[in-house]
A and B are shown apart, each in its own frame.
Chain A
């Protein structure tokens, strides 16, 4: 059995700052990493690997530094890491990205299960799992919280808005994991050292039989520009030791802002 975990070396959007006057997004210096969502994907995959003895490969489409960062994912328990180098600087249309990933999983397969996040940590557009399911014509178990494999069936709980839904589907299949569903394990020094020796592969589009010209045809939009969202808030801070005084100050601000009124004007 082979599991491929799809992960994204993502921008830490919490570190993204917006210039308050120009509304420009300040991208310089914003760190990239495999965030908790992607580590959750690896955690879910490692748990399945441990339960059914599968081989686990982590696969990413991203910039070259991602290959180094994938050592952390190998330390978590993956057996092999593959990075397809992204010539688009992380800005390709989902239709392009999915065609790269499709070619990559076909090359690195055959596989029994693909695991990805329900969305990427930075783009957050929820596209890859559903698009891959269409491209590969496989069942998709989206927003999964609990997973187990029995024979050639995958069982899962899906975290939907109105319900928790229990489902099963035959393998091969695709799973997208829900946010916070799998807490990534902390790795030991020994695991980190062993990870250094695990195989890793750097592939180009050409290695996958793809060309930029061919892929560009699937790009369905021109990006005309990006701006940051600025919400101007008053940012009064209330701190101190005297809780009663702090409560009164908070109430005072809310009265000034006309959301509270005081009976008798106290």
Chain B
């Protein structure tokens, strides 16, 4: 009997191919198939093209009227997967526990390591715990296990030659959908942020648009993209590029934090940086324990001096 397939879903294309990559690696170890759930109303790539990213089969559905949970529940009921990987975006973090509850599946959030036992198909996973302070090891006991996975956790996969089979799905109606009366998009530069060699990460200490201008000038000197910890971006409309457990995770050569306190759910987003430098006026800020260099200074006083010294020394990023 063919081992149970691995089902993948994320509404975010970059995360989708990362999940496919991990699913492919796991599937190859146990001889299983990888099935992608793709909302045709959200994606313009031809579904077959996901073969090169590791998919054997693409279920496609227009979910405008139903939402992804009805779609996924239908696929789970029909294809009896052993494992379902969901991208841990805000939407994904709602979809995953709903799906688990609806299908009676086991669920854990923030998986960073996944194993399938080739002998019995049993799933075990390492998952971030306590907002990223710890890692827990779980062994699951249900026929189906749902795991959510943050962007930047696993590598995408690319291999020519595989053409995914295509299977359209017509979803059942979902009760209790919300009536949407308005949508105000946030400008996004997430793609650039995740590829950046250097990132300037702005925290709650950055209080005004003038502070932000200063930060942007520094970022320019350091060839950096600007990101922020959650409080800044949710309070104001300055940037949507959240770094952290429920935002983006970055792995740049250099991360300079400005006015970031160091709450663990935020530090998770930057802790894979090669070098972290932190500027904060509070000597006791938690961020200093997470940094290679900590500068205790007021950002409004320090940043202009730093930029002047960078210029006068002719300092430039090592990769330029």
Closest B residue to A136 by beta carbon equals B176
Residue among A11, A94, A220, A239 with most chain B CB within 10 A: A220
Closest B residue to A165 by beta carbon equals B183
A16–B134 touching, CB < 8 Å: yes
B80 at the interface (CB under 8 A from A): no
Complex Cα gap A248–B315 (Å) = 11
Complex Cα gap A220–B276 (Å) = 38
Select A235's contact among B102, B294, B318, beta carbons within 8 Å.
Answer: B294
B94–A254 touching, CB < 8 Å: no
Residues 86-118 of chain B, each 1 if its beta carbon lies under 8 Å from chain A, else 0: 000111011111101110011111100000000
Residues 135-149 of chain A, each 1 if its beta carbon lies under 8 Å from chain B, else 0: 101111111010000
Complex Cα gap A228–B95 (Å) = 28
A200 to chain B, nearest CB (A): 28
A178 at the interface (CB under 8 A from B): yes
A223–B138 touching, CB < 8 Å: yes
Measured between beta carbons, the chain A residues less than 8 angstroms from B274 are 257, 259
Complex Cα gap A13–B267 (Å) = 13
A180–B235 touching, CB < 8 Å: yes
B45 at the interface (CB under 8 A from A): no
Complex Cα gap A247–B307 (Å) = 9
Closest B residue to A127 by beta carbon equals B97
B109 to chain A, nearest CB (A): 4
A64 to chain B, nearest CB (A): 22
Q: Decide yes or no: A161 and B101 within 8 Å by CB, A130-B94, A231-B290, A239-B295 being known contacts.
A: no
Closest A residue to B106 by beta carbon equals A220
Measured between beta carbons, the chain B residues less than 8 angstroms from A163 are 183-186
A162–B179 touching, CB < 8 Å: no
B183–A253 touching, CB < 8 Å: no
A264 at the interface (CB under 8 A from B): yes
B206 at the interface (CB under 8 A from A): no
B106 to chain A, nearest CB (A): 3
Q: Which 9 residue pairs across A and B have the least CB separation, nearest first? A: A220-B106, A263-B314, A166-B182, A125-B109, A134-B101, A224-B137, A139-B176, A239-B296, A126-B93
B interface with A by C-beta (< 8 Å): 89-91, 93-98, 100-102, 105-110, 124, 128-142, 145, 175-186, 188, 198, 230-231, 234-235, 240, 242, 245-247, 253-254, 263-265, 271, 274-277, 283, 286, 288-297, 301-302, 305-306, 308-310, 312-318
Q: List 20 A-B contacts (CB under 8 A).
A: A16-B264, A93-B106, A94-B97, A127-B97, A143-B90, A166-B180, A222-B139, A223-B137, A224-B124, A224-B137, A226-B137, A233-B291, A234-B293, A243-B302, A247-B310, A250-B277, A251-B306, A254-B254, A261-B315, A263-B313
A interface with B by C-beta (< 8 Å): 11, 13-14, 16, 18, 25, 93-95, 98, 119, 122-127, 129-131, 133-135, 137-143, 145, 159-169, 178-181, 220-229, 231, 233-239, 243-244, 246-248, 250-251, 253-255, 257-264, 266
